Each structure stands twice: as structure tokens, then as C-alpha cells.
Amino acid sequence: MNTEKVISRDNDYILHTYARSPVALVAGEGMVARDAEGRQYLDFTSGIGVNSLGYCHPAWVRAVAGQAAALQHTSNLYYTEPCGALAQALCARTGLDAVFFGNSGAEANEGAIKCARKYSVDTYGPARNKVITLVNSFHGRTLATLTATGQDVFHHDFGPFPANFDYVPAGNFAALERAADADTCAVMLELVQGEGGVVALDADYVARVAAFCREKDILLIVDEVQTGVGRTGRFLACEHFGLKPDIVTLAKGLGGGLPIGAVVMSQKVAAHMGPGSHGSTFGGNPVCCAGALAVLDTMDEAFLAQVRERAAQLRAGLAALPHVQQVSGLGLMVGIELADGIKAAEVRAACEREGLLVLTAKTRLRLLPPLILTADDVAAALATLRRVLENTRS
């Protein structure tokens, strides 16, 4: 089918909840995707941070195909080897103690909220269940994670919402201190607010929040759905901040292209989650876990050092482009604030026409390239962006 036919069928039968680009992708390899007419695109989106090893990485393909040919699903009534192996690997990489697997970042964040409330209610009584998040945050689109999201634009039309969530401005420790009353069980934050414009939190602020939470026995949940699994040049963004939270959530890049989410927690929290306290039919699916293990096996220190090197090259190059006012984010999670009235959405569309796929977040361009990118890939993307920006008028 050509692009026109693919789009026409999609419009006829798929719920119209996405503002799609007029591109129908059919194949990909490494950093490059190909559309139905054979046109190639250098992909600096990685499926919104999902294809951490790019398209069809050979080790990932072997792992997924081999597991699919052996055992595709069993449910959590039985044990499988990939599930336990992945959990062990994640505990080793994060320094935490136990894992719950789900299917997405929203499901991981929903699980984290449940775990935090269970610990706090068991320990302090049923009233202690409030969760504080940050203004401009994004934690998912289920009702609880939508409520946790600190952006009013996402809240229209879907109430009533679950109770006992509160929001404080990022960086304002005094506001958090005021909001954290006797009923507060957890503070949930992103170290880089992705959908909020790719804005990193201040390290001193994060340290004060962590110390405050320890003092009050308020659980600290860090949403690493987008920042985790090497995206910032460390396995967790927490490592840049010297932070060890009680709960970390992962998804996106963990599966390398397959749906998986993980709630990784300390033993203090895990001890309160017994049989029947949570569940997910597809959680820990052996094929998804096999893909995730291939991702983790690839991400040794040499790999992460290359991520940091490419991130430095990309950020320096972006800062030198015309109309670029600021480069934000961390590692290969990049936000670009444009000057001179230039609209990010228009630049994104122009890049697409030039064979470069990029994203937007609020008023900024957003780049989330696969972590396998080379120096030549960075140079090619920068050349396209320069050409587009030089020909863009406010």
C-alpha cells in the first residue's frame, strides 16, 4: 500500500486521538526509517524515546525472535526465565531491590502510586495517602496518572479525578514544604520534565527534596520513563543527581521497541506488596523481557560513554545554529528554544520534508535520537537543522 492508502484506511478506522504527520513508515534499520514510497528519514525521535537501540538492532532482533519462537506468553500464574533475569539485572543497575512489570510508563507510574500508598497506609494509617507532583509534569494518561500530571491542559473533560493529589512549582522548595502535610505519602517528580518542555530540575532543589522526604518518611518516586535506560548518558538520570529514591519507574527505551514498564523499588516498599495487591496480565511477558535484556546487555559503560560524547557534540552544534536561543534537557534528551518568533511545529514539519524526524514539546523542538547514533549522524542532523533554520522566517 502507498502512503495515501495507508492514511485513508487509518482515518476510516482508527480513533482520531493523534495529530499524525502525513508519513507512513514501513521499515527501518539503525538510525534510518523508510516510508511506503521508499523515502528515507534520519530518525531523531526513536519513537518518542522508545527505540533506544534504533531500528531492528541485530542483538535485539535475535533475542526477541528466539523467545517468540520458544514461549510468547504464560501469565503471571507461572514463572519464566526472562522475567526474573530482567528483574535481577534492573536491581543490579539501579541499586534497588524488587521490580513489578507492566506494559507502559503510565502503568508503571500508576503502580508506583499504589505501592507508595500501600506502604504509607500500612505504616501510618488510611489517611496518609496524598501524592505531591510538580507543575508542568507529565506522568501518563490513565485517570490516576493524568491526575498526577501537573498540567491543566490535560485535565479538561475527564473528571471527576482521583482525590489527594497536589501540585507545587518545580524549584520552589518552600511551596513543597507547605504542601507536604501529615497526610502526604509521596513526592513524585521527573528529573527532566519531558512533555513540559525538556526542562531539567536544579540539582540543589532535588537534593533538598530528597533530604526532606527522608526526614519525614515521605516516599520519593522518580519517574524515569523518558530519562531512564541510558537516555541522559547514565543508566538513570538519578545518577547525575546522586539520588537513590524509594521508587523508580521505567518504560519507553527499556523494551527497545516492545511495550514494557517497570516499577523498581526498595525492600522497604516491596515488603508491603503481597499477593493480590497489584497485577498485570501481560506484565513480565517473556518476549518483552527478552528484548529488554538485550537492551541492558548492550548498555555497558563504553556504550554510555559514547552517549555522553554524542550528546556533547549535538548540544554544542545546536547552540551554534541560527535562531537557537537555548538548548535544554540532559544528555540525549534535548530541548531547543527558538528565537525570533520561529515556531517549533513549523520547523518540525520542514525537517520532515528534508528527511529528518524531530519532535516538539510545548514551544520547543525536542530531540530523542536512538542512543546508537554516530558522529556522522549528529553532523547530518545538524546540517539539516541549519538548512531549515536558515530558510525559516518568523
The catalytic site residues sit at 138, 223, 252
The pair phi, psi for residue 82, each rounded to 5°, is -60, -35
Would you say 364 and 337 are in contact if contact means Cβ atoms under 8 Å apart? yes
Region class of 39: left (phi > 0), else alpha (psi between -120 and 50), else beta: beta
Bridge partners, residue 334, by sequence: 329, 367
Q: Please tell me what DSSP assigns to residue 18.
A: -
Integer-rounded Cα Rg, in Å, for the chain is 21
Which residue from 194, 269, 187, 267 is spatially nearest to 225, judged by alpha carbons? 194
Burial class for 14, CB neighbours closer than 10 Å (0-12, 13-18, 19+):
exposed
The one-letter code for the residue type at 236 is: L
Distance between CA 34 and CA 358 in Å, rounded? 15
The pair phi, psi for residue 4, each rounded to 5°, is -60, -45
SS3 of 170-214: the string is CCCHHHHHHHCCCCEEEEEECCEECCCCCEECCHHHHHHHHHHHH
Tally DSSP H helices, then E strands, for the chain: 13, 17
Q: Count other C-beta atoms under 10 Å from residue 12's C-beta.
A: 7
CA torsion through residues 264, 270, 272, 278, sign: positive
The single residue listed with the C-alpha cell 504527520 is 21
The single residue listed with the C-alpha cell 494518561 is 141
